Amino acid sequence: MKRIGDGTGTRLGLITLAVILTTLFLVIPLAGIFYQAFAEGLAPFWQNLTSNFTREAIGLTLLIALMTVPVNLIFGIFLAWLVTRFTFPGRRILQTLIDIPFAVSPVVAGLLYLLLYGRTGWLGSILSEQDVQLMFAWPGMVLVTIFVTCPFVARELIPLMQAQGSAEEEAGVTLGASGWMLFRRITLPNIRWALVYGVILTNARAIGEFGAVSVVSGSIRGETINLPLQVELLYQDYNTVGAFTSAALLAALAIVTLMIKALLEWHTHRREKTA
Amino acid sequence: MSISVTGVSRRFGNTTALHPLSLEIAKGEMVGLLGPSGSGKTTLLRIIAGLETPNSGSIHFGDRDVTHVHVRKRRVGFVFQHYALFRHMSVFENVAFGLRARPSSERLSNAEIHDRVHHLLERVRLEALAKRLPAQLSGGQQQRVALARALAVEPEVLLLDEPFGALDAKVRLELRRWLRHLHEEFNFTSVFVTHDQEEALELSDRVVVMSNGRIEQIDTPQTLYRAPANRFVFSFLGETNRFAGEYREGRLHRDQAWIQLDKAGAPTSEVLLRPHELILTTAPDARAHLPVTVDAVSPVGSDVRIELTADWMDTPWLASITHHDFDRLRPERGGAFFVIPARWHQFAPENA
């Protein structure tokens, strides 16, 4: 049977358009990154990859991700639980507030943190009396990354937990299960795939975050430069191969993340089919 | 275990779900909470279970005041409307959940849990499906798993929220009978919620009819059907035909139509009649003058159901006559007849 708009011409036209756009905007730039990274051969690439600064940038990037993901994982579960399992005044406002980090430009978020926690800032002046420095140091970078990525896990969980409802948990509690047992044996297994998905997204964003981090980093080489900042720094130093080496590394991480995500989606899909 | 509900009320924001009400349920009794949606029956059930907290009043199980006892410790079996099976656990694990949830001092060994669960699954005839996931079962099978799961912890009180609401008619009938047997065998006290009057009347020892957060009547099914306390109970328990008119000298008039009422009875402006209380004839007599036209005939079932219309009706009437009368009268669509009421019911006007 023929559907509306299903002419050979329309179909071919749309497919061609999609292929051209994908090639122009996705495939060529991505290939370009790897091409530039290897433009002067394998040796300069390897040299840049193993330089101290790059190694430290990788280390910092991983540190930020490693601290951000668990914090937002726990925060996201609590938030989703609160919003979907309880009714209280201000619940809808809270649900809107969750999206603020998405709505606000990361640079603005960075600036806010700088104003608040900087040496002369409102909270920062108190902290600096205690000899604690957050801004222009890695803890500040972790803080803003947590802010920017905090909606991902909650956003994945809320619609799912709303759809599933609380009947299974109620059934569990009538059977005598404790709060922890309810969470571990009923809630967690029901949301685990959404949770993994949220973690992947949080992780991807934590690794790639540039805007907010660049405001609070202070660009101290070997100390507060993560991979995205390293790309910009090297590029401005006219070290094209170096910049693209780091960029290629980020792109590779992104591709790996997407592959894990696709694998998970395929897995869930198959599970739903057999269930 | 007996259940006493004393002066329990519940508000949700500005709406009152339950006005203060009291209810006594004897040990081993099976009680149906019957009412339309929004009547507060589910709220009452959830308060008994402890899933909802009342704004006032108390709940006792036997002598034990459980008003402030957490659901977890009330030891009630609760069967949810849509079963609420644990979707990622096998049938076996679903049923075993309550046994595994016990504090370690009371917990059974794995072998004992295994035996108990298999015994229960045998009782609900689902042994062969122990390894399946809930999504792989039919609605009736899921409901049986839900029951087995609730019974695994040997509750003395079993609460069921619209237990058969989502099932088709045939499965529903079978499960009803089966629940009745389980009830007799395990001897627990059960309370179930339903909006289906047939289900309530068939299953319950006593039925609690509710509307708008109030109890309208508590009685055995027979008393309830024969002597409904008010107009609401009467009309909720079955098909109702209404004759409204003006009362003059023992007769209720509406245009050309009239019904002769008891001379001794109180004046009224309305009488209600059940479909089986209507006699279809070819001529009026001293009891009534009610000309009607046949609008539809449905000869399926033990009685023939006939839809009647007339100018003096607000809404069409429904009469059910025996096949014998049907063969004698041969009513057809458009045919003109007279109705003689064999019985009628009149209630004090509702001022709620």
Identity of residue B176? R
CA distance A188 to A180: 10
DSSP code string of B167-205 = S-HHHHHHHHHHHHHHHHHH--EEEEEES-HHHHHHH-S
CB nearest B84 (choices: A170, A185, A275):
A170
Q: Which CATH number fits domain A53-274: 1.10.8.60, 3.40.190.10, 1.10.287.3510, 1.10.3720.10?
A: 1.10.3720.10
Smallest CA–CA separation between A90 and chain B, in Å? 14
The SS3 assignment for A244 reads helix
Residue of B351, B265, B279, B273 lying closest to B313 (CA atoms): B273
Residue of A175, A247, A177 lying closest to A210 (CA atoms): A247
* A 168-197 → B contacts, CB under 8 A: 168, 170-178, 181, 185-186, 189-190
CA distance A89 to B182: 44
Which positions in chain A touch B149 (Cβ < 8 Å)?
171, 175
- 8 Å CB contact of A174 and B78: yes
Q: Which residue has the higher pLDDT, A241 or B44?
A: B44
- 8 Å CB contact of B86 and A168: yes
Smallest CA–CA separation between A258 and chain B, in Å? 26
Q: Are B272 and B235 in contact (CB under 8 A)?
A: yes
The SS3 assignment for B112 reads helix
Identify the pLDDT of residue B352: 42
Identify the pLDDT of residue B56: 96
Which positions in chain A touch B136 (Cβ < 8 Å)?
275
- B231-269: pLDDT as tens digits: 999 999 988 999 988 888 888 899 889 998 877 677 788
- 8 Å CB contact of A177 and B71: no
Q: Which two tokens stand for residue B225?
A: 């059907």
Best mutation target among B87, B145, B154 (most A Cβ atoms within 10 Å) is B87
Report the 10 Å Cβ neighbour count for B158. 23
Nearest residue on chain B to A173, alpha-carbon basis: B72
Which positions in chain A touch B153 (Cβ < 8 Å)?
175-176
pLDDT < 70 regions, chain B: 264, 350-352
- Interface predicted TM-score (ipTM): 0.82
- 8 Å CB contact of A171 and B80: yes
Given a cut of 70, is residue A272 above it in pLDDT?
A: no
Which domains does chain B possess? Answer: 3-236 (3.40.50.300), 241-341 (2.40.50.100)
Which positions in chain B touch A275 (Cβ < 8 Å)?
133, 135-136
Q: Are A154 and B132 in contact (CB under 8 A)?
A: no
For residue B41, the 8-state DSSP code is H
pLDDT band at A82 (very low <50, low <70, confident <90, very high): very high
Q: Are B193 and B33 in contact (CB under 8 A)?
A: yes
Triad B185, B186, B192: Cα angle to 5°: 105
Q: Are A115 and A202 in contact (CB under 8 A)?
A: no
Q: Which two tokens stand for residue A44?
A: 């300069």
CB nearest B88 (choices: A174, A177, A190):
A190
With tokens 């198959």, the residue in question is A270
Question: What phi, psi does A232 have (nearest 5°)?
Answer: -65, -45
Q: Does A107 touch chain B (CB under 8 A)?
A: no
Residue of A179, A181, A176 lying closest to B153 (CA atoms): A176
Identify the pLDDT of residue B317: 94
The B-side interface with A (CB below 8 A) comprises: 49-51, 71-78, 80, 82, 84-88, 97-98, 101-102, 133, 135-136, 149-150, 152-153
Identify the pLDDT of residue A30: 92
With tokens 């993560």, the residue in question is A226
Best mutation target among A164, A175, A178, A272 (most B Cβ atoms within 10 Å) is A175
pLDDT band at A133 (very low <50, low <70, confident <90, very high): confident
* A 222-261 → B contacts, CB under 8 A: none
With tokens 């091409």, the residue in question is A35
Q: Which two tokens stand for residue B57?
A: 């009043």
- Furthest-apart CA atoms within chain A: distance in Å: 75
Given a cut of 50, is residue A119 above it in pLDDT?
A: yes
Q: Which two tokens stand for residue B76?
A: 């009630």
Using CA of residue B260, residue B266, residue B272, residue B278, what is the dihedral sign? negative
Q: Which two tokens stand for residue B118?
A: 């298999």
Q: Which two tokens stand for residue A54?
A: 């790059």
- A35-69: pLDDT as tens digits: 998 988 889 889 888 888 889 999 999 999 999 99
Residues near A118 by beta carbon (within 8 Å), at least 6 away in sequence: A124, A135
Identify the pLDDT of residue A266: 87
Identify the pLDDT of residue A126: 86
